[in-house]
Amino acid sequence: MSAAIVLAGLFMGLIMKDDLFGNSFLWLGGLWILVPLTLLLGLIALGVFLWKRRIGKFLSYGLAIGCSSIVAVQIFFETGVWLNRWRVDAVESYVARAVPILDQIKQKEGAYPTNLPTALLGEPPELLRDYGDYSADRSSFRFEYIDEPAEWAGGEGMIEFDNTNLEWKDE
């Protein structure tokens, strides 16, 4: 049963990957209930086990389920963090690959392309494609995307890269 609860946390993290950080507060609310409830059940189980062994077994199962639920919530969060890191790494490697190609185009044509040359670069990763943009003028270009976890961590959530300073910024 504990393994099923822990696996449920993993699967929920995978299923809710797009709305993961929006739903995190619901899970945090669950933690505020699960942790004290688990501790209370553990103390009751210990007391009852010493007093009457019949109810102690039932409460011990409750303690195991409570601890499994806490582990499942933790796995849910870690799954979301891992998935987001993977998506951000895909954007960063795509942009690192795009910079020299865009610079070559500017050298040949005198300006950066206004549309991303997907024939040379391939399709952009999910964060750029669905939540971001590429823009350029004659002398500069810029990639930007919205990253919800950066917004939840206190930033604005708009991550940008432009070729003038060659670094990522959390606006």
pLDDT in tens, 3-35: 666 666 666 666 665 555 555 555 555 655 666
pLDDT at 71: 74
Please tell me the least confidently modeled range out of 17-26, 37-46, 65-74.
17-26
pLDDT at 108: 92
Extended beta strands in 2-157, E state: 132-136, 141-146
171 in helix, strand or coil?
A: coil
pTM: 0.62
Give me the phi and psi of 112, to 5 degrees please. -75, 145
For range 65-73, the mean pLDDT: 74
Helices H / strands E in the chain, number of each? 6, 4
For range 80-92, the mean pLDDT: 85
